[in-house]
Chains A and B, each alone.
Chain A
């Protein structure tokens, strides 16, 4: 049961980047397209789950004084794995995400979960925590990317096909795919989440 709790808290109670206000840079930068958000989320999920698992299994070996440096090396190694895999098999996404694949290393969600969770809990729980938080992050990014892409470009990209949502006469609200729109959209979504979870304005 507690395994399920560790997994499912990532979907609402601790959903990043809304409840855990961490990992904002990739959230804002790659969500101009829905598929970008999805890819970034999945890449982060992979790194988070693997690093949580490995760090949890090494938690009794790593000395406390050098723990942060050790965590960073573990995380950076998995990021290199993701970077090389994406370059080989998903080259278009690799170009689209660009520098932000490297920057998964300094995504504070991953280091935060390593320090707050994986360094103290058993392997299975840490794996569940990483998977849950990672998938929550994926959902947030995909939702944000979908809203921004539909409003800002009038399209929705599903994998390799792009469909037009409002037909050819739609004049895109291009503010939404520009940098300012990212901040405004995320702020409003956070406000909406606050309303839903309180049940009042």
Chain B
């Protein structure tokens, strides 16, 4: 992992993170908001934007905490506690910062920001970053691409789900059950990308 990476290596990483190992559909991270906020397109885009924003920042901060604080003091085994605290604090800070400086953006993202603390995709990406021993640039690219993959899958899924609301399906499959089947089909479609990157 520590040899010099060329531009094409980074492109491969981006494509792999968005399409092949999509964080929602192949790694199964962040499925609760995936099913929870996918009823309306507005809420889904709000959530997708917030996740892209927070996940990239959280990746950077947890990586720095891990490498400059936990590793030097031999505290790596406590990373779960530290990471979740960093993420929770970061979400709070981002929320206050947006409220003061970018009220319009805050209005748009407002209610989704607190939910992100318990979005397992954020903590998941932070852990994957240090498990795979990415360097700083790889970590930033991977965090951003994973978040973009989350947004893509969420928005596609919401588009389909809005159509399902209007169609007649058997009573016992309504709601979450048909949502899960739909997610399975999207996951199957993404599975077709498996050959792109080795």
The interface of chain A, by Cβ under 8 A from chain B, is 21-26, 28-29, 68-69, 72-73, 76-77, 79-80, 83-84, 99, 102-103, 105-108, 111, 178-184, 186-188, 190-191, 194-195, 198, 201
Q: Is the CB of A99 within 8 A of B127?
A: yes
8 contacts between A and B (CB under 8 A): A24-B32, A25-B29, A25-B32, A25-B120, A77-B81, A79-B80, A107-B120, A190-B176
Q: A108-B118, A179-B26, A187-B180 are in contact. Are A83 and B88 (CB under 8 A)?
A: no
Expressed in whole angstroms, the minimum distance between the Cβ of A106 and any Cβ of chain B is: 4
* CB of B194, distance to nearest CB on chain A (Å): 10
A28 x B28 contact (CB < 8 A): yes
Evaluate contact between A180 and B27: CB separation under 8 angstroms: no
Given contacts A21-B176, A22-B32, A194-B177, contact A73 B85 (CB under 8 A): yes
Alpha-carbon distance between A68 and B117 when the two chains are bound, in angstroms: 10
Contact B30 A25, beta carbon cutoff 8 Å: yes
Chain B contact surface mostly: helix
Docked complex Cα distance between A125 and B84 (Å)? 28
Residues of B within 8 A of A (CB): 25-32, 34-36, 77-81, 84-85, 88, 117-120, 123-124, 127-128, 131, 170-173, 176-181, 183-185, 187-188, 191
CB contact under 8 A between A179 and B172, given known A106-B118, A107-B120, A190-B180: no
Chain B proximity of A34: nearest CB distance (Å): 17
State the Cβ distance, B185 to closest chain A Cβ, in Å. Answer: 7
Nearest first, the 6 closest Cβ-Cβ pairs linking A and B are A187-B180, A183-B184, A184-B184, A29-B28, A24-B31, A194-B172
Chain B residue at minimal CB-CB distance from A107: B120
Residues on B with C-beta less than 8 A from A105 are: 80, 84, 123
Q: Given A99-B124, A198-B172, is A72 in contact with B85 using a C-beta cutoff of 8 Å? A: yes
Q: Is the Cβ of A186 less than 8 Å from the Cβ of B118?
A: no
Of B34, B36, B181, B187, the contact of A179 (CB 8 Å cutoff) = B187
Please, which residues of chain A bring their CB within 8 A of the CB of B29? 25, 103
Cα separation A103 to B125 with both chains bound (whole Å): 11
Cα distance, A194 to B185, chains bound together (Å): 21
Partner pick for A195 among B118, B172, B178, CB 8 A cutoff: B172
User: Taking A24-B32, A25-B32, A187-B178 as contacts, is the C-beta distance between A180 and B185 under 8 angstroms?
Assistant: yes
CB pair A72 B84 closer than 8 Å? yes
A24-B35, A103-B120, A106-B119 known; A188 and B85 CB under 8 Å? Answer: no
With a CB–CB cut-off of 8 A, which chain A residues contact B25? 179-180
Smallest CB gap from B178: residue in A: A187
* Cβ–Cβ < 8 Å partners of A23 in chain B: 32
Enumerate chain A residues within 8 angstroms of B80, measured Cβ to Cβ: 76, 79-80, 83, 102, 105
Q: Is the CB of A102 within 8 A of B127?
A: yes
Min C-beta distance of A14 to chain B, whole Å: 15
CB of B104, distance to nearest CB on chain A (Å): 27
Closest to B131 in A: A99
A187 to B181, CA, bound (A): 5
Q: Report chain B residues within 8 Å CB of A99.
A: 124, 127-128, 131
Contacts of B85 in A (CB 8 A): 69, 72-73, 76
Least CB distance from B162 to A in Å reads 18
Task: Assess the A80–B172 pair: CB atoms within 8 A.
Answer: no
Q: Quick one: given A25-B31, A28-B28, A72-B84, are A103 and B124 in contact (CB under 8 Å)? A: yes
Bound CA–CA A131/B60 (angstroms): 37
**Most interface-central of B79, B128, B177, B185 (chain A CB within 10 A):** B177
Assess the B181–A21 pair: CB atoms within 8 A.
no
A183 touching B187, Cβ below 8 Å: yes
- Within the assembled complex, what's the spacing in Å between the Cα atoms of A83 and B29? 19
